[in-house]
Structure 1
Amino acid sequence: MKKLAILAMGMASACLLPTAHAQSSVTLYGVIDNGIDYQSPNGAKATVRAVSGGLFASRFGLKGTEDIGGGLHVNFQLEDGFNGETGAAASATAAFNRQAWVGLSGHFGEVRLGLQNTPQYIFLNPELDPLAVQSIGSPMNSLNSLTVRETNAISYFTPTYYGLSAQFMVAMRDTTTKPSQGLQFYNAAVKYINGPFHIAAGYEQAGNATGTSLLKIFNAGTSMSFGAARVFLAYHNERQTDNSIKRDTYQLSGSYMLNPANMVVAMYAYEHDRTGQGNNAQQVGLTYEYLLSTRTTLYGAAGFIQNRSKAAFTLTGTNYAGVAVSPGANTRGVTLGIVHRF
């Protein structure tokens, strides 16, 4: 009788295990992007260097979901950045410096709490240009401020209704800021998609660590596809409340799929300094991507920036700083690289 009971318990456990496994999952994923970067500012020696993060930031992470019934899911994501050329961690003090959040999703949308990417980065940037504001080929990446992620963040993603969706985020202050309590960051973005037509806009407000100034940013973008081509128009406005920054950026860009494995991108942007100092700039960018497979891409990105007056914009990679330029000097550069996703 005792042996029969043990056998029955074992059979019950065996039946339950597949069900429990089917209700939750964890995925290991990552991206490694390595390449060679050449930049030549006017009046300075040309620089050639190995870089990681020319098109995508190198990273690895874990993400998972648990189905708890009633249409509800518990979700989490842990993500850490690293330098693919050296193997060094992006942060010596954070085990997961890019994302560390947990949340709940269902028919109401999704809520996330913790370190996470902003709506501007994950939701709005892909609507501003064909490169989602990445690489030295994107003027929006080189000429504008961008908040990629925030700690102590709370976000809400709406469901999509007839092509319309939105994302909202606030982030709280902590002991590293003054004051140490209250809200430091706000970001909201809304997007509408109707077939080949896209339009999106967003507002961001970020307080500095000392609580003495605010950076206010507005972005808007629209695009339309014409067969294998897509044309983008984008506008960016940013202002620091201490009047140290006041500028508008206007960008026209487009992509063309030569075939399913080959894409070319051309971009132009003009940055207008509204402080009255004439620190204007303009950039042209070109990018080529070749898909070796669904997971591996070869790319080349090139850019040229013309700085005016005391403007000193430089060609910035997705995850590395550009070579410093003298005020008013032009700069040019090329990046060649390979990206693999796993």
Structure 2
Amino acid sequence: MKKSLVGLSILALAAGAHAQSSVTLYGRIDNGFTYWSGRADGHLVGMETAGFGESWWGITGAEDLGGGTKAIFKLESGLNTLNGGVNNGSFFGRHAYVGLTNDKFGTFKMGNLGAGEIQQDSWDIDPQLMEAYSISELVRGRNYPQAGNGLEYTSPTFGGLTLKGQYDLTNNPNGWNTAASSSGISGSGPNQLGGAQGRTDGIKAMYNAGDLELLAIYDETRDPNGRFSNVYVNSRSVLAGGTYVWGPFKAFVGYQHLSAPDASLAGYGVAAGTLPSGVSVPTAVDHEWLGLQYTASPFLNVTSGVYHANANKGNGNATMYTLGASYNLSKRTLLYTELAYLHNSSTSNIGLGNGYADPYGPNGNQGGSAGNIAPNYGHSQFGMVSGIMTTF
């Protein structure tokens, strides 16, 4: 009888311990159609993925350690759900971290922060919430960096204020800022998410007072040589903005300054003589935007935004106008559409590709050869995406 009681007690303890842990499988799938005109190689009618947001799947978990502290982990993979490919440079390129969290002391993470690089938090003040045409277009993907070998701390919220800091090591014994090899830190290189990257770091402050939200982020990403050589990829970024809600409306405003004092033709992968007369590689970009969101009903949401960027060294300016809408079919599934018109000045050729497929610029994408998806200099682009997203 005593042995039976001991056995039952062990089973009860095991069941109790199991109840303090949780593992969740989750994900989302986003597919649709696109129309894209004004490309140097013509216009496109086709399928698209990630019009509203990138498709992904992942596993997340937590274990209660007692005293209000939990061990946490996340493994997350980005997907191209049109061809089954893996995005973000590697299988768990979006996230692969472990950490600790406590309501009183904050949250600490370490591992591949991936798509959680601190600059990506700027979506919170983007009128289009980083959909297909959003805050990242006019800075050619600069707001979509990645970072591996990361350490991150997020404070508890004090009086509406939350602080976050990140530091991403390179594991290079011969250079604190530089990548050890081409397979160093998993970051963002021109046309290659998951490519080599030097040290990255950043800090964030967010203040939330109900209807008012303010955000500021300082972020820097270095190239494999530890330099700021490409204003759209390896640069310093200072970003600030906010949102304000009244009734069914939400207003957005933001400003971003990018700086790359070490910019060179090699940093952009551009050959000499391919840029228009009077144009050289930019070392700074100023980017401003404003927008309005209207919640027409619990099911229908309408968004709009105007974005403007000006690059120095003769690279001109560009303005993008956007209009979008989403309709909730259920708590997990929505339909969406978004339109964008992007106007370039005579020495600018920014496109709607946001740095993922098109060169990070500046570039010599003139003429009609296949793959020249940026516009010719001084030309405009129009884009439309429509699709469906479901989560699980």
- Tell me the equivalent position of 1:239: 259
The 1:261–1:317 alpha-carbon spacing in structure 2 relative to 1, beyond 3 Å, is farther
- Tell me the equivalent position of 2:157: 160
Q: What SS is found at the alignment partner of 2:64?
A: strand
How many angstroms does 1:57 deviate by? Answer: 0.7
How many angstroms does 1:248 deviate by? Answer: 0.5
Q: What SS is found at the alignment partner of 2:199?
A: strand
Write the letter of the residue equivalent to 2:123.
N
The root-mean-square deviation of aligned C-alpha atoms, in Å, is: 2.3
Structure 2 counterpart of 1:280, from 306, 310, 317: 317
Write the letter of the residue equivalent to 1:266.
S
Structure 2 counterpart of 1:221, from 241, 254, 262: 241
Could you tell me the percent identity over the aligned residues?
27
Write the letter of the residue equivalent to 2:64.
D
Kindly indicate whether the alpha-carbon contact (under 8 Å) linking 1:53 and 1:318 is maintained by their aligned counterparts in 2.
Answer: no
The TM-score normalised by the length of structure 1 is: 0.91
The 1:78–1:47 alpha-carbon spacing in structure 2 relative to 1, beyond 3 Å, is same
Q: What whole-Å deviation, never above 9, does each CA across 1:111-156 have from its counterpart, x for those lacking one?
A: 100111123223x321x223323322x2x22112124431001000
Kindly indicate whether the alpha-carbon contact (under 8 Å) linking 1:215 and 1:240 is maintained by their aligned counterparts in 2.
Answer: yes
2:134 corresponds to 1:134: no
The TM-score normalised by the length of structure 2 is: 0.80
2:205 corresponds to 1:190: yes
The 1:281–1:155 alpha-carbon spacing in structure 2 relative to 1, beyond 3 Å, is same
Structure 2 counterpart of 1:295, from 332, 346, 357: 332
- Tell me the equivalent position of 1:99: 95
Kindly indicate whether the alpha-carbon contact (under 8 Å) linking 1:33 and 1:339 is maintained by their aligned counterparts in 2.
Answer: yes
Q: What SS is found at the alignment partner of 1:19?
A: helix
2:81 corresponds to 1:31: no
Mark the runs of 5 or more structure 2 residues left unpaired by the alignment.
186-197, 229-233, 264-281, 360-372
2:15 corresponds to 1:18: yes
The whole-number CA distance in structure 2 between the counterparts of 1:220 and 1:290 is 30
Write the letter of the residue equivalent to 1:129.
D
Structure 2 counterpart of 1:205, from 188, 202, 220: 220
The whole-number CA distance in structure 2 between the counterparts of 1:102 and 1:237 is 33
The whole-number CA distance in structure 2 between the counterparts of 1:305 and 1:179 is 36
Kindly indicate whether the alpha-carbon contact (under 8 Å) linking 1:217 and 1:238 is maintained by their aligned counterparts in 2.
Answer: yes
Q: What SS is found at the alignment partner of 1:46?
A: strand
Mark the runs of 5 or more structure 1 residues left unpaired by the alignment.
none
Write the letter of the residue equivalent to 1:205.
E
Write the letter of the residue equivalent to 2:26.
Y
- Tell me the equivalent position of 2:275: none
- Give the number of the structure whose residues are more often strand, by fraction: 1
Write the letter of the residue equivalent to 2:311.
D
The whole-number CA distance in structure 2 between the counterparts of 1:293 and 1:148 is 32
How many angstroms does 1:44 deviate by? Answer: 4.5
The whole-number CA distance in structure 1 between the counterparts of 2:60 and 2:355 is 23
Kindly indicate whether the alpha-carbon contact (under 8 Å) linking 1:151 and 1:171 is maintained by their aligned counterparts in 2.
Answer: yes
Write the letter of the residue equivalent to 2:155.
T
The 1:32–1:320 alpha-carbon spacing in structure 2 relative to 1, beyond 3 Å, is farther
